[in-house]
């Protein structure tokens, strides 16, 4: 059979002209919207797959755009440049891959009793089915944490700022407890971001973020990231490959864009949060306001030692008198603040905790975590502080 002098239209449609090499460095990272990559030879493919040669093979494994985002977060978390990052499709994908990488049947986890509801559910409903036990403790009591550790403990879990009580973790103290026991210390820093606190500097082995929140910052993207030492993080990456929780390149590009304004946004949101918390603290219908920027907060001094000066997070939890009914009525009375879950975006949002973010917890579990059934979590956005205070106060006045 003789070779065709011209390729058919279908072949020409599929195999277009070769992409021209870009000589100049792009100002923003390009989006590699591709599922797979072409090799120069079978041997190159073999070497890349085996790890003998750097390169890209398949975007579920690694994607340049997704990895660029993870590298950028690692640079924020560790200015020394030692830490590396791994990208994930969501914060829960990052959390689940991390725990699965560090646990096996018979493992034991120690976690805060006020841990994020999604993490609590993963530990109690999913990992428990495979023989992983969890002890939930008062993480502010270092001796209680130490006493909870067992020979089979493989993870000590903490959150920089607890959701929604805004309890501050004693990261240096917890890291000593973990190090003495030879247990990896993992910290969820979603509520803080690297602008407020960098857990690696306080002894954490791995730092987890739901990038959906402050890192992305615009409520238009879902993602997660884990940062830490390369050897430990490779175990987490292996789980990601097996479970498939890969971050899509388009999402990664949006998250990378969000990082550019993270310090500006976070600083403004934290400053506004302090003003809002102080304004609501004296309202006659309020029984409790949780924000570590308040001098009355139990962890104010600890936050001052661990956090960037003047920044205490951008979430304010307000508990009106009257329990669940009052909490839900408070949310319904808001006009400017949106009734929506998540946090970290430019628009302020509020949710009734017991019926949304912590739906998995019954009243006894809520009480053990220090959460009132009426608690309302307010994520502060970028609106003018006077407008936010006015809206929150009018909703409280109407109770």
Active site residue 32: no
Burial class of 103 by CB neighbour count within 10 A (0 to 12, 13 to 18, 19+): buried
Q: What is the DSSP string of 214-231?
A: TTT-SSS---EEEEE-HH
Q: Which residues contact 358 (CB under 8 A, 6 or more apart)?
A: 117, 164, 366, 369, 371
Active site residue 213: yes
**Choice among 12, 52, 60, 335 that is catalytic:** 60
Q: Is 22 helix (H, G, I), strand (E, B) or coil?
A: coil
Q: Is 43 helix (H, G, I), strand (E, B) or coil?
A: helix
Q: What is the DSSP string of 52-98?
A: SS----BTTT--HHHHHHHHHHHHHH-TTS--EEEEESSHHHHHHHH
DSSP 8-state assignment for residue 248? P
**Choice among 170, 198, 205, 213 that is catalytic:** 213
> How far apart are alpha carbons 255 and 213 in whole angstroms?
10
Active site residue 349: no
Active site residue 305: no
**Choice among 71, 78, 170, 188 that is catalytic:** 188
Nearest to 215 by CA among 72, 311, 99: 72
**Choice among 32, 62, 78, 116 that is catalytic:** 116
Catalytic residues, by residue number, are 60, 116, 188, 213
């Amino acid at each position: 059979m003789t070779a065709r002098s011209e390729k058919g239209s279908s072949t020409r449609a599929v195999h277009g002209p070769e992409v021209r090499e870009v000589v100049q460095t792009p100002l923003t990272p390009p989006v590699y919207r591709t599922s797979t990559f072409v090799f120069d030879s079978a041997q190159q493919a073999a070497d890349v797959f085996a790890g003998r040669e750097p390169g890209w093979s398949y975007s579920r494994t690694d994607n340049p755009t997704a990895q660029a985002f993870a590298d950028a977060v690692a640079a924020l978390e560790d200015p020394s440049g030692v830490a590396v990052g791994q990208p994930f499709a969501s914060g829960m994908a990052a959390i689940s891959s991390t725990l699965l990488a560090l646990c096996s049947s018979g493992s034991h986890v120690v976690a805060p009793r006020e841990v994020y509801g999604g993490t609590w559910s993963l530990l109690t409903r999913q990992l428990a089915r495979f023989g992983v036990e969890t002890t939930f403790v008062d993480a502010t009591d270092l001796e209680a944490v130490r006493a909870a550790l067992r020979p089979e403990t493989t993870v000590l879990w903490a959150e920089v700022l607890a959701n929604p009580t805004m309890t501050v973790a004693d990261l240096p103290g917890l890291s000593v407890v973990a190090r003495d026991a030879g247990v990896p210390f993992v910290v969820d820093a979603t509520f803080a971001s690297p602008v407020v606190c960098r857990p690696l500097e306080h002894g954490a082995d791995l730092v987890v973020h739901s990038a959906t929140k402050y890192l992305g910052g615009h409520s238009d993207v879902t993602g997660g990231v884990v940062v830490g030492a390369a050897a430990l993080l490779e175990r987490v990456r292996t789980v990601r490959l097996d479970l498939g929780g890969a971050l899509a390149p388009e999402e990664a590009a949006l998250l990378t864009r969000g990082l550019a304004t993270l310090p500006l946004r976070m600083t403004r949101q934290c400053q506004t949060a302090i003003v809002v918390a102080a304004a609501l603290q004296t309202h006659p219908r309020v029984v409790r306001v949780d924000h570590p920027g308040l001098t009355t907060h139990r962890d104010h001094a600890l936050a001052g030692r661990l956090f960037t000066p003047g920044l205490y997070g951008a979430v304010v939890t307000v508990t009106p008198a009257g329990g669940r009914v009052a909490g839900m009525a408070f949310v319904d009375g808001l006009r400017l603040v949106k009734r929506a879950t998540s946090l970290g975006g430019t628009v302020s949002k509020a949710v009734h905790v017991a019926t949304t973010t912590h739906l998995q917890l019954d009243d006894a579990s809520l009480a053990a975590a220090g959460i009132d059934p009426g608690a309302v979590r307010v994520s502060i956005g970028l609106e003018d502080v006077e407008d936010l205070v006015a809206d929150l106060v009018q909703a409280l006045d109407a109770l």
